[in-house]
């Protein structure tokens, strides 16, 4: 059941991320924005793969890495002035919550 919550939270984060990326300058929509979208798609893909696999360890580690990468991209977008601080706060809260959920999933999987 926790896995479905992670997928729903990922979906919500992607919805928010697309709306935020729409407001990037045109030059960055197709550079940093594309990288961020690819990262979000990888998070969704790895979440689905981890849910379906029997042995999840490496997939969950890859998922954790993608979430950390997205956190870095979001911070970079804010620091470069492409992402307003309020949108950064909201998007970061999604990323942090996803990271915590995946961290719990990794801990539960080690048993």
Q: Mean per-residue pLDDT for 71-98?
A: 97
Domains in the chain: ranges and CATH: 2-109 (1.20.1440.60)
Q: Which two tokens stand for residue 68?
A: 């950390």
| Residue 48 to residue 63: CA distance in whole angstroms | 10
pLDDT digits (tens, 9 = 90+) for 4-63: 899 999 999 999 999 999 999 999 989 999 999 999 999 999 999 999 988 889 999 999
Going 65 to 45 to 27 to 24, the CA torsion angle's sign is negative
């Amino acid at each position: 059941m926790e896995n479905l919550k992670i997928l729903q939270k990922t979906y919500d984060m992607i919805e928010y991320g697309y709306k935020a990326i729409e407001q990037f300058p045109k030059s960055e929509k197709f550079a940093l924005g594309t990288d961020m979208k690819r990262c979000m798609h990888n998070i969704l893909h790895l979440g689905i793969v981890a849910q379906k696999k029997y042995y999840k360890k490496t997939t969950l580690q890859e998922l954790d890495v993608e979430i950390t990468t997205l956190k870095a991209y979001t911070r970079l977008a804010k620091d470069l002035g492409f992402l307003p601080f309020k949108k950064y706060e909201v998007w970061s809260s999604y990323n942090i919550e996803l990271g915590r959920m995946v961290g719990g999933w990794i801990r539960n999987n080690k048993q």
